[in-house]
Amino acid sequence: MGTNQRFVLALAVMWMLVSSTAAANEMEPIESMKSVDELTMLCQSIGGKLGSVSVNECLTSGLELTGARSISGKPIAVREYLPLATRQSRGRVLLIGGIHGDEYSSVSIVFKWMNILNRYHSGLFHWRISPLMNPDGLLRKKSQRMNENGIDLNRNFPTPNWLEETRDYWVRRTSSNPRRFPGDAPLSEPESSWLADEIEAFQPEVIVSVHAPHGVLDFDGPPEAPERFGSLSLNLLGTYPGSLGRYAGVHKNIPVVTIELASAGSMPSAQEQRQIWLDLVGWLKTRLPVESPSQTAP
């Protein structure tokens, strides 16, 4: 190979290296822009569906994509409130809303509580919050309890004797009600699979799940249960095969607080929203007393 040929070859190699580096540097902002666009579309859909959550409220909530998607490809987003350097967190709390897509208030009220945390998060707890776990169920033209596959996500979690017990419950207790179809296998759905992975990775000390419209406070798992959040009094409803309460509360031994709002379509008053939140935080302080006595509560 002559001198000129070697020179040309060296230039080509250098150009390839420079081009590949530039392409790699361009990928990050492109991916970032894609995430922003997906969040914008998600918030536009949520704001267009829920009268009590505006598009701007969703956009400014601090939600981030998890990488998980629903059956139809809609993103599942979370907001995390990390411990602060100025104080020791008492524990990890996982808060979810919208596991049933037709329970509008269960999504809306989580956004209102995120507003409070966005202003007043003090590091008392390490929060991980998903306001809408079932985006397909909520955001279709006519919202439905189930996901896009017609499966009740709150019957799709792995519990002992899952197939036998879920079929018996579904057929005998609900007369094969399609709203409560558990699916053909546990964690068959990307949404329930995501939550199971999230529980495993985050290792919450408490899980709080918001539902409607029974107007009670339910609890599964180790004691002690809260007696009242706002106007919602404790009423143990029991667990169902494949439910989050049986999966996490009974079999994984993680306390699961189920907040059953009184209406699926209407929000509680602003005062009631705040009182439920204050009572929840007050109970968590007694349930998760990790912080040293010398530190002050917010």
Q: Please state, in angstroms and rounded to a whole number, the distance separating the CA atoms of residues 49 and 282.
A: 32
CATH, domain 64-287, list 3.30.450.30, 3.40.630.10, 3.90.79.10, 2.60.120.10: 3.40.630.10
Q: Render pLDDT for 14-70 as a digit per residue (tens, 0 to 9).
A: 444 444 444 445 445 555 555 679 999 999 999 999 999 999 999 999 999 999 999
Buried b vs exposed e over 210-234: b needs ≥16 C-beta within 10 Å? bbbeeebbbbbbeeebbeebbebee
Amino acid (1-letter code) at residue 239: T
Token pair, residue 250, equals 């009974």
Q: To which residue do tokens 């998760």 refer?
A: 288
User: What's the half-sphere exposure (Cβ side, CA atoms, 13 Å) at 86?
Assistant: 7
Q: Which of 257, 241, 235 minimizes the C-alpha distance to 155? A: 241
Would strands 126-130 and 75-81 be described as parallel, antiparallel, or unpaired?
antiparallel
Its pTM stands at 0.86
Kindly list the domain boundaries of the chain, sorted by start residue.
Answer: 64-287
The string of pLDDT tens digits covering residues 152-189 is 999 999 999 999 999 999 999 999 999 999 999 999 99
Over the stretch 95-112, which tens digit does the pLDDT of each residue have?
A: 999 999 999 999 999 999
